């Protein structure tokens, strides 16, 4: 592979990649100088990692203006696939060597994934009525960290994200409605004057997605072939491909979420890395998804009896909804997670393999403390019946269908 193949602005063999990078530069030049402070929302996944490493290289190379401050916020959900978590640690070291401020953002202890489920008793998230995880363990901590940093710094901030067209149909529809705001042109970058979710200092925060126009082939080209080269930053990005399928990552096109993601129909990313000999010791993680399914079963949860009314006097949309996990289910779930983690880590003994850390001692202690304190989610007191107990059917209008008599 010759150096000429990786010249950003020369030769036709890389024309498509050059054009993609040039549009990114145009976005950052157009919107960057309007803000003193730049912040990068980094999840450790392929898109945000490509955005981050390309951005820093463009600044170092003088291709985009250097902001007054650049702060990188890494969203540590405590549930990342190990290859992604390891790559993130390496990249954080490389950023700090450059003098860049890197802040690890985690949810408060009581809102972390396993503490919230096994300590507070909230069932695992689902795609219908209870999709709380992304907002709680990633989005809200990131927003809080950004607002706190901006309050310290003063001035306005540009939040740089790795959003791309094509990542998902739902996200694309949101982009189509937003990318023309404030004069931004589709293909030049997704620019908004404020984070709609932010309630503090929102008039001082704007967002831009400088890789909006990139396709997945551009992302892999940068991560696998360009970014690891010394001339483009010498980044530890090649390992990220392991989490998406190695050399076949582009063809597999797996999307990653949490380990054993309860919202995913298929564990494509986890299944893919388990095919690699280096990561096969992580196979016990396949036990997480069955655990989540088991925890959702009626025998492990309480149910509203239907008599409770809301403040407006109504019974709500689902007066007999299933609710939190029993203490017995929580304890069994805790022991299962710990057993999975121990099983994985036993396989690392005597080998140069990274250990798994999805539930640490502090989190385990907090879960047990919440169980001992008989903690229930808001709106539940623990006196509700088990979800398997037969009840008269209560409808939203207040009418009741009694249980049929056995006689």
Half-sphere exposure of 153 (CA within 13 A, CB side): 24
Taking only the tens place, the pLDDT of each residue in 347-403 is 999 998 999 999 999 999 999 999 999 999 998 999 999 989 877 666 666 666 677
Taking only the tens place, the pLDDT of each residue in 80-89 is 888 889 999 9
Q: Which of 180, 354, 358 is nearest to 260 (CA)?
A: 358
* Element spanning 209, H or E: strand 205-209
* Element spanning 101, H or E: strand 101-105
- Alpha-carbon distance 64 to 60, whole Å? 8
Question: Cβ(84)–Cβ(237) under 8 Å?
Answer: no
Confidence (pLDDT) at 337? 98
Dihedral sign for Cα atoms in the order 111, 255, 21, 91: positive
> If you write DSSP's letter for every residue of 263-295 in order, what string do you get?
T-SS-HHHHHHHTSGGGGGGGGGGGHHHHHHHH
Confidence (pLDDT) at 148? 87
Token output for 35: 């803000």
Token output for 60: 């170092």
- Alpha-carbon distance 73 to 161, whole Å? 11
Confidence (pLDDT) at 395? 67
- Write out residues in the chain with pLDDT < 70, as ranges: 1-15, 129, 166-203, 242-243, 245-257, 306-317, 319, 392-401, 404-407
Dihedral sign for Cα atoms in the order 322, 328, 329, 333: positive
Confidence (pLDDT) at 100? 97
> If you write DSSP's letter for every residue of 18-75 in order, what string do you get?
HHHHHHHHHHHHHHGGG-SEEEEEE-SSHHHHHHHHHHHHHHHTTSSPPPSEEEEEEE
- Predicted structure pTM score: 0.82
């Amino acid at each position: 592979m010759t150096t000429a193949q990786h010249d950003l602005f020369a030769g036709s063999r890389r024309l498509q990649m050059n054009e993609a990078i040039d549009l990114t530069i145009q976005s950052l030049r157009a919107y960057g100088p309007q803000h003193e402070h730049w912040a990068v929302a980094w999840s450790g996944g392929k898109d945000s990692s490509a955005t981050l490493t390309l951005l820093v290289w463009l600044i170092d190379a003088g291709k985009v203006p250097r902001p007054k401050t650049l702060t990188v916020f890494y969203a540590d959900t405590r549930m990342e696939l190990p290859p992604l978590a390891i790559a993130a640690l390496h990249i954080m070291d490389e950023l700090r060597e450059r003098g860049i401020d890197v802040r690890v953002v985690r949810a408060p202890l009581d809102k972390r994934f396993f503490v919230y489920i096994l300590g507070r008793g909230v069932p695992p998230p689902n795609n219908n009525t209870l999709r709380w995880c992304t907002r709680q363990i990633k989005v809200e901590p990131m927003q809080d960290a950004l607002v706190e940093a901006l309050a310290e710094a003063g001035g306005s901030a540009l939040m740089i994200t790795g959003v791309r067209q094509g990542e998902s149909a739902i996200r694309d529809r949101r982009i189509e409605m937003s990318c023309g705001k404030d004069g931004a042109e589709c293909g030049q970058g997704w620019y908004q004057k404020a984070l709609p979710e932010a309630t503090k200092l929102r008039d001082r925060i704007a967002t831009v997605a400088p890789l909006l126009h990139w396709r997945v082939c551009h992302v892999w080209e940068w991560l696998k072939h360009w970014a690891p080269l010394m001339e483009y930053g010498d980044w530890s990005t090649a390992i990220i491909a392991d989490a998406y399928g190695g050399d076949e990552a582009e063809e597999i096109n797996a999307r990653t979420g949490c380990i054993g993601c309860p919202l995913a129909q298929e564990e494509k990313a986890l299944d893919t890395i388990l095919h690699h000999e280096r990561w096969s010791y992580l196979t016990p993680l396949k036990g997480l998804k069955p655990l989540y399914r088991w925890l959702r079963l009626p025998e492990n949860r309480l149910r509203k009896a239907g008599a409770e009314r809301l403040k407006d006097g109504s019974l709500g949309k689902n007066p007999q909804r299933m609710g939190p996990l029993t203490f017995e289910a929580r304890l069994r779930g805790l022991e299962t997670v710990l057993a999975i983690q121990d099983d994985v880590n036993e396989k690392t003994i005597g080998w140069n393999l990274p250990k798994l850390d999805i539930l640490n001692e502090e989190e385990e202690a907090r879960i047990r403390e919440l169980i001992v304190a008989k903690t229930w989610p808001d709106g539940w007191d623990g006196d509700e019946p088990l979800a398997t107990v037969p009840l008269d059917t209560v409808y939203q209008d207040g009418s009741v269908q009694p249980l049929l008599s056995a006689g």
